[in-house]
Amino acid sequence: MKTFTLLIALLSTSLCSAQYISEDDKLHFGAGFLISGGTYTIVYSKTKNKKKAFWYSFAASTLVGLSKEIYDGYIIDGGRFDNGEMVATSLGGLTASTTLHLFVGKKNNEKLKNIAIVN
């Protein structure tokens, strides 16, 4: 019965379809990721404050995405503001900020000092 359920679950995935993500949105996501990662690194190295680094890096990527879309939409294209590209840039920034917030600054050496090595 478990095999049958697994087979049905795997075969049903071929019926699912995902939303199309354009190449430009992938580039916006990557740009937001890089901007946020760089900003997080700089702010954290200066302040050693993870919360401040998280919010500054997320704000930097969102601000860059917003300003780029304002520039593209109202200066170049004459009124075409693309919400999807701004969201993609912000999501890239959120991904980098969250990842770095979770893994940067952990003090594992404190835990290792209390462990005795026995042969």
Asked whether residue 114 is assigned to any structural domain, the reply reads no
Residue 99 domain flag: yes
Q: Within a domain: residue 100?
A: yes
DSSP characters over 89-104: HHHHHHHHHHHHHHHT
Q: Which residue has the higher pLDDT, 18 or 89?
A: 89
Q: pTM of the predicted model, to two decimals?
A: 0.72
Residue 95 lies in a domain: yes
64 close to 31: Cβ distance less than 8 angstroms: yes
User: In which band, very low, low, confident or very high, does the pLDDT at 37 lie, cut at 50, 70 and 90?
Assistant: very high
> Is residue 71 in some structural domain?
yes
* Structure-derived torsion over alpha carbons of residues 33, 61, 68, 86, reported in degrees to the nearest 10: 80
pLDDT at 119: 54
Q: What is the DSSP string of 9-76?
A: HHHHGGG--PPP--HHHHHHHHHHHHHHHHHHHHHHHHH--HHHHHHHHHHHHHHHHHHHHHIIIIII
Is 109 inside any structural domain?
A: no
Tell me the pLDDT tens digit for each residue of 92-101: 999 999 999 9
Answer whether residue 110 is part of any domain. Answer: no
Q: Give how many domains the chain has, as a whole number.
A: 1
Is residue 36 in some structural domain? yes
The per-residue pLDDT for range 40-96, each reduced to its tens digit, is 999 999 999 999 999 999 999 999 999 998 888 777 767 778 888 899 999 999 999
Name the residue range of residue 41's domain: 32-104
